[in-house]
Amino acid sequence: MHILFINPATKFWGTMVILVIITLGYFANKLTRGNTIDYINYEMGSKLKNTLINIHGLGSLIIALILPNNFVNEIDFFKQLYDENELWIAGTMLTLLFIMLVMIGTTFTFFVRRSGLKRLDD
């Protein structure tokens, strides 16, 4: 990870992306009253917990980056918006990132609750 942040411009934009992900994750967690990241409050191994957190964050980011550029732009309505103003692409990415953070986190929480694992704060 250190090698990605050698260039000062890369360091700035990498930091900004991480801050946006954290901010959107915070709002997603507030919107769902804690269900977005509630899966980390259950008793499981640290490797499994870290894996779920990485899948949650990186999976949401990857989906948010891939969909607008490869699939959404084939829909005529979005293609017209993207041609009119390229900021719509960034807006779509941020919206998809927020939605995917909520969906993936809530799905993880649902399956962890159903798996019968013991909650740590009980």
**Residue 96 belongs to some domain of the structure:** yes
Does residue 7 carry a pLDDT above 90?
no
Question: Residue 20 burial (CB < 10 Å; 0-12/13-18/19+)?
Answer: middle
Query: Mean of the pLDDT values across residues 52-60?
Result: 88
**Residue 7 belongs to some domain of the structure:** no
pLDDT tens digits along 88-112: 887 888 888 888 888 999 999 999 9
Could you give the CA distance from residue 32 to residue 87 in angstroms, rounded to a whole number?
28
Give the global pTM. Answer: 0.75
Check residue 51 and give its pLDDT: 92
Question: Residue 19 burial (CB < 10 Å; 0-12/13-18/19+)?
Answer: exposed
**Residue 108 belongs to some domain of the structure:** yes
**Residue 30 belongs to some domain of the structure:** no
Could you give the CA distance from residue 84 to residue 108 in angstroms, rounded to a whole number?
38
Domain count, the chain: 1
**Residue 62 belongs to some domain of the structure:** yes
Cβ 25 vs Cβ 57: under 8 Å? yes
Domain extent for 84: 44-117
**Residue 5 belongs to some domain of the structure:** no
β-pair partners for 42: 119
**pLDDT band for position 47 (50/70/90)?**
very high
pLDDT tens digits along 110-121: 999 899 888 887
Angle at 113 between CA 110 and CA 116, to 5 degrees: 145
**Residue 94 belongs to some domain of the structure:** yes
**Residue 27 belongs to some domain of the structure:** no
Check residue 9 and give its pLDDT: 67
Could you give the CA distance from residue 45 to residue 76 in angstroms, rounded to a whole number?
46
Check residue 50 and give its pLDDT: 92
Check residue 5 and give its pLDDT: 57
- Checking 83-87 for CB contacts under 8 A at 24+ apart, the result is none
